[in-house]
């Protein structure tokens, strides 16, 4: 759902906060196999990297983990933080969505989703960072009302769980709920700030696309567009997203998302999903 550090650009992780992302070597080379993406189905940061890999046509394998139960696995790999996404590739463990983008840019240069032109690259990556910082505010809005509703929240977290994992998380839910609420620092003040930050993000999109241009920067889809769309998708509810576009999910977030239903920035998010989000066929 979230990335490391409540005060960082990417918000807290779903299991650990305040720890720096990392790139570390794995025990044996993996140059001969596609990279593996460790993710959550419900993570908008995971969707950012999933979409990037799909859009770039890069082969990869995905292992979708269960929030909170994922912590031992990811900590064993990174030794520092438990946030996802994590990319296992070429003997490396790359954690944090922006670091994964930078790794892809180096490994697959020229990487079409990050412009080679220095000025345009700077603009794209500045937008990417700006929308990343909205991620935690989106999750605050999402869970402000649903976190106390176990029947609504637990299915979001257990989509890829085994029956035993589902049972374990169900039993631990009161403890998990309290811990996650503290991690998000949910309060009337933080929710007002969250709504304001989302308003700013939507207004930025609307301003940059008001003349009809399809992209936030440049003449083609970039990681700026993908990041904006992915990070706002939990509230924009694009039909193309298998979790956030589902009718049951839309009903769950209706009270929090209605504020942005007709906002041109959110309309652009849904339009970009329709026109560009083509998940790979497994």
CA angle 282, 278, 221 (to 5 degrees): 135
Are residues 88 and 147 part of one domain? no
How many residues are given for the chain?
282
Please name which of 161, 268, 130, 261 lies closest in space to residue 211, comparing C-alpha atoms: 268
Q: What is the token pair recorded at 269?
A: 């998010």
Better pLDDT: 229 or 11:
229
Q: Is residue 155 part of a domain?
A: yes
Are residues 52 and 128 part of one domain? no
Instruction: Tell me the H-state helices in 133-187.
Output: 135-146, 150-157, 163-171, 173-184
Domain carrying residue 58 = 23-107
Are residues 196 and 146 part of one domain? yes
Quick one: pLDDT band at residue 184, thresholds 50, 70, 90? Answer: very high
- Distance of alpha carbon 273 from alpha carbon 238, whole angstroms: 7
Are residues 97 and 135 part of one domain? no
Final residue of a domain: which of 73, 107, 141?
A: 107
CA distances for 64 relative to 1, 6, 61, angstroms: 12, 23, 10
Q: Is residue 11 part of a domain?
A: no
Q: How many CB atoms lie within 10 A of CB 97?
A: 31
Q: Is residue 248 part of a domain?
A: yes
Q: Is residue 241 part of a domain?
A: yes
Q: How many CB atoms lie within 10 A of CB 79?
A: 10
- Distance of alpha carbon 273 from alpha carbon 268, whole angstroms: 8
Does this model's pTM top 0.85? My answer is: yes
pLDDT at 77: 96
- Distance of alpha carbon 130 from alpha carbon 9, whole angstroms: 8
How do residues 203-262 score in pLDDT, each as one tens digit? 999 999 999 999 999 999 999 999 999 999 999 999 999 999 999 999 889 888 999 999
Pairing of strands 36-39, 61-64: parallel
- Distance of alpha carbon 254 from alpha carbon 120, whole angstroms: 37
Q: How far is CA 170 from the centre of its chain?
A: 24
Q: Is residue 112 part of a domain?
A: no
Q: Is residue 6 part of a domain?
A: no
- Distance of alpha carbon 272 from alpha carbon 253, whole angstroms: 21
Contact predicate 62/39, CB 8 Å: yes
**Total domain count for the chain?**
2
pLDDT at 29: 40
pLDDT at 173 over 70: yes
Q: Is residue 263 part of a domain?
A: yes
Are residues 269 and 140 part of one domain? yes
pLDDT at 107: 95
Quick one: pLDDT band at residue 11, thresholds 50, 70, 90? Answer: very low
Final residue of a domain: which of 44, 73, 107?
A: 107
Quick one: pLDDT band at residue 7, thresholds 50, 70, 90? Answer: very low
Angle between helices 118-132 and 223-236 (to 10 degrees): 20
pLDDT at 273: 99
Final residue of a domain: which of 107, 128, 143?
A: 107
Q: Is residue 1 part of a domain?
A: no
How do residues 46-75 score in pLDDT, each as one tens digit? 999 999 999 999 999 999 999 999 999 999
Look up tokens 């993570």; give the residue: 43
Residue 267 buriedness (CB in 10 A; 0-12 / 13-18 / 19+): middle
Q: What is the token pair recorded at 254?
A: 């209706």
Contact predicate 204/263, CB 8 Å: no
pLDDT at 179 over 90: yes
CA angle 79, 129, 13 (to 5 degrees): 35
- Distance of alpha carbon 27 from alpha carbon 91, whole angstroms: 7
Q: How far is CA 274 from the centre of its chain?
A: 18
Q: How far is CA 278 from the centre of its chain?
A: 17
């Amino acid at each position: 759902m979230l990335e490391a550090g409540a005060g960082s650009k990417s918000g807290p992780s779903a299991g650990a906060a305040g720890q720096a992302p990392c790139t570390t070597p794995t025990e044996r080379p993996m140059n001969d196999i596609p990279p593996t993406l460790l993710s959550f189905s419900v993570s908008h940061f995971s969707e950012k990297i999933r979409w990037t890999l799909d859009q770039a046509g890069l082969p990869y394998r995905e292992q979708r983990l269960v929030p909170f139960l994922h912590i031992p696995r990811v900590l064993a790999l990174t030794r520092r933080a438990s946030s996802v996404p994590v990319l296992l590739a070429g003997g490396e463990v790359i954690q944090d969505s922006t670091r994964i983008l930078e790794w892809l840019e180096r490994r697959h240069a020229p990487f079409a989703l990050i412009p080679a032109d220095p000025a345009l690259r700077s603009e794209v990556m500045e937008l990417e960072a700006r929308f990343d910082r909205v991620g935690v505010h989106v999750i605050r809005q999402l869970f402000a009302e649903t976190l106390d509703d176990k029947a609504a929240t637990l299915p979001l977290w257990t989509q890829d769980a085994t029956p035993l994992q589902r049972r374990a998380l169900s039993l631990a839910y009161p403890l998990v709920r309290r811990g996650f609420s503290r991690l998000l620092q949910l309060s009337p003040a933080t929710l007002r700030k969250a709504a304001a930050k989302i308003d700013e993000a939507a207004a930025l999109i609307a301003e940059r696309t008001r003349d009809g241009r399809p992209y936030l920067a440049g003449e083609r889809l970039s990681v700026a567009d993908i990041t904006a769309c992915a990070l706002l998708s939990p509230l924009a509810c694009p039909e193309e997203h298998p979790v956030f576009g589902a009718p049951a999910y839309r009903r769950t977030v209706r009270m929090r998302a209605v504020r942005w239903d007709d906002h041109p920035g959110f309309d652009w998010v849904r339009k970009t999903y329709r026109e560009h989000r083509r998940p790979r066929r497994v």
